[in-house]
Amino acid sequence: MAGKTLYDKLWDDHLVKQRDDGSALIYIDRHLLHEVTSPQAFEGLRLAGRKPWRLDANLATPDHNVPTTDRARGVEGIVDPVSRIQVETLDKNCDEFGILEFKIKDQRQGIVHVIGPEQGATLPGMSIVCGDSHTSTHGAFGCLAHGIGTSEVEHVLATQCLVQQKMKNMLVKVNGKLGPGVTGKDVVLAIIGKIGTAGGTGHAIEFGGEAIRNLSMEARMTICNMSIEAGARVGMVAVDQTTIDYVKDRPFAPKGEMRNRAIEYWKTLHSDDDAVFDKVVELEGSEIMPQVSWGTSPEMVAGVGGHVPDPEAEADPIKREGIVRALKYMGLKPNMPITEIKLDRVFIGSCTNSRIEDLREAAAVVKGRKVSPLLKQAMVVPGSGLVKVQAEQEGLDRIFLEAGLEWRDPGCSMCLAMNADKLGQGEHCASTSNRNFEGRQGFGGRTHLVSPAMAAAAAINGHFVDVREMMN
């Protein structure tokens, strides 16, 4: 019998009941909540007279709607009344049901997918869900983690379980070493460019290979975060010493003898050598260039040295139509060099790229330089209050401010523009976020997905440049 994949092991360890009809009850160890996808779930509990099954599995924070300036006034500082009601509703629901919440004025507040790992609330081997598709981020810790809808948020609150069908296994292997200036973001964009936005549909992806093993936890989180942009709800990286070291001494993580016991189990969280995957995709790390998205789907990417594609060269009529539509929306011409795309704004932040390592990479590029006068705005939004504090201790805020970037308070911000941070119609943005869909960052806005280093380089130049040319 073939060995097990990491996903097989996680599935088996969380299987409560296999039903005859092929569905299964899966136990949920950690449930993260935010203000946008939870109000209807709490209301559902109330209407049915149900209570949360297990309080200590839940952790909540407001992130999508929070302003990134003027946070001293807390909830009162949210100008949009509809946004304010949503944040207040989360506060009320957490208070009423007894769920731990890092409220807007708590220093531990931040983007759910940043604070879970930061607090050690994300631990190897856990099953983790949240009403947010980027929950796949936590798979970087060898977790079974994925996004769910609001009905399932209610289901997890009420039963601590989910009804699931087992997915297929997919291995994405990145061989060899990455070149200098090539980051986790470039790796995941290159993967999506190769397999497409539906390439992982129905599969749980494990990212492996030498290049992945050599990455930091932050970079692994960036890669797993965007599994969903490859169509896979679940993305994972096997546990190794990097993982075990990262969770040490975090507030929710086990300590002392309990930690030793946990480590024994964590070390089993990798695919067996003889495990069989339903699908295997391989990339050569040395061939991955810094990436820039040119279109309105995350698969529409090119290396920074490349060109915007020509729809005439696409054989598949549905894809060709998609390219024509995307170029029209983006205001770009076929065959133009990526480096000729001019920018209006730069956004460094989001659950994909707002951790300390991301901010360090961006700061290293802008240090001693000035933001291009061609830009209307360049902003840095740290992923959590604690990331902000650490960045300030390292002096990164000074580097950004001196270069002419704005230094904001934590939240999802311009990744999806539910708060006041958004693009104007027709504006081009170099963004470290995860989605370049039409209107995502603001009505008529044009998003280009890049790494923090590439966004920083674009901020200095007012158009895309190969960040490697700016590195010593």
Partner 1 sequence: MRALKQHKGIVAPMDRSNVDTDMIIPKQFLKSIKRTGFGPNLFDELRYLDEGKPDQDSSQRPINPDFVLNQDRYKNASVLLARRNFGCGSSREHAPWALEDFGFRVIIAPSFADIFYNNCFKNGLLPIVLEEQIVDQLFQEAEAEEGYQLAIDLEAKTVTTPSGETFGFEVDDFRRHCLLNGLDDIGVTLEDAGVIKAYEASRRETAPWLFSADQNL
Strand order across the beta sheet in which 24-27 lies: 15-18, 24-27, 161-164
Q: How many whole angstroms separate alpha carbon 59 and alpha carbon 394?
A: 28
Q: Which is nearer to partner 1, 297 or 461 (CB)?
A: 297
Rounded to the nearest whole angstrom, what is the least distance from the CB of residue 415 to partner 1 in the complex?
A: 10
Q: Hey, what are 275's tokens?
A: 């495990």
Rounded to the nearest whole angstrom, what is the least distance from the CB of residue 63 to partner 1 in the complex?
A: 13
**Site map for partner 1, 133-172, x if CB under 8 A?**
x------------xxxxxxx-xx--xxxx-x-x-------
Selected binder of partner 1 within 5, 10, 11, 29 (CB under 8 A):
29
User: Binding to partner 1 by residue 416, rule CB under 8 A?
Assistant: yes
Parallel/antiparallel/unpaired status of strands 30-33 and 24-27 = unpaired
User: Binding to partner 1 by residue 39, rule CB under 8 A?
Assistant: yes
Residues numbered 73-92 forming contacts with partner 1, rule: CB under 8 A: 80, 82-83, 85-86, 89
User: Binding to partner 1 by residue 123, rule CB under 8 A?
Assistant: yes
CB 355 within 8 A of CB 419: no
Selected binder of partner 1 within 3, 40, 376, 392 (CB under 8 A):
40
Taking the alpha carbons at both ends of the chain, their separation in whole angstroms is 52
φ/ψ (deg, to 5) at 384: -155, 165
CB 434 within 8 A of CB 350: yes
User: Binding to partner 1 by residue 201, rule CB under 8 A?
Assistant: yes
Residues numbered 47-66 forming contacts with partner 1, rule: CB under 8 A: 48, 50, 53-56, 64-65
**Collapsed DSSP state (helix, strand, coil) of residue 104:** coil
Selected binder of partner 1 within 67, 116, 125, 142 (CB under 8 A):
125
Tell me, by CB under 8 A, how many residues bind partner 1. Answer: 84
User: Binding to partner 1 by residue 97, rule CB under 8 A?
Assistant: no
Q: Which is nearer to partner 1, 435 or 463 (CB)?
A: 435
Rounded to the nearest whole angstrom, what is the least distance from the CB of residue 83 to partner 1 in the complex?
A: 6
User: Binding to partner 1 by residue 265, rule CB under 8 A?
Assistant: yes
Rounded to the nearest whole angstrom, what is the least distance from the CB of residue 51 to partner 1 in the complex?
A: 12
CB atoms within 10 A of CB 1: 4
CB atoms within 10 A of CB 446: 28
User: Binding to partner 1 by residue 3, rule CB under 8 A?
Assistant: no
Q: Which is nearer to partner 1, 86 or 377 (CB)?
A: 86
Q: Where would I find the H helices in 233-378?
A: 241-247, 256-266, 317-330, 356-366
Q: Is 412 among the annotated ligand-binding positions?
A: yes
User: Binding to partner 1 by residue 262, rule CB under 8 A?
Assistant: yes
Rounded to the nearest whole angstrom, what is the least distance from the CB of residue 227 to partner 1 in the complex?
A: 11
Q: Hey, what are 54's tokens?
A: 């297990």
Question: Pick from 206, 55, 201, 209: which is nearest to 133 by CA?
Answer: 201
User: Which class for 198: exposed (0-12), middle (13-18), buried (19 or more C-beta within 10 A)?
Assistant: exposed
Could you tell me which residues come within 8 angstroms of residue 102 by beta carbon, excluding any fewer than 6 positions away?
Answer: 59, 60, 61, 108, 109, 110, 115
Q: Hey, what are 236's tokens?
A: 């994972």
- Which window, 16-24, 352-360, 373-381, 401-409, contacts partner 1 (CB under 8 A)? 16-24
**Site map for partner 1, 372-411, x if CB under 8 A?**
----------------------------------------
Q: Which is nearer to partner 1, 24 or 332 (CB)?
A: 24
User: Binding to partner 1 by residue 115, rule CB under 8 A?
Assistant: no
Selected binder of partner 1 within 3, 23, 248, 471 (CB under 8 A):
23
Question: Pick from 338, 337, 318, 320: which is nearest to 328 by CA?
Answer: 320
Q: Which is nearer to partner 1, 235 or 285 (CB)?
A: 235
Residues numbered 321-350 forming contacts with partner 1, rule: CB under 8 A: 321-322, 325
Please give the sequence-ordered ranges of beta strands (E in DSSP) within 61-201, or none if there are none: 127-130, 144-147, 161-164, 168-175
Question: Pick from 307, 306, 327, 323: which is nearest to 315 by CA?
Answer: 323
Q: Which is nearer to partner 1, 108 or 398 (CB)?
A: 108
φ/ψ (deg, to 5) at 236: -145, 155
The binding site consists of: 351, 412, 415
The binding site for [4Fe-4S] cluster consists of: 351, 412, 415
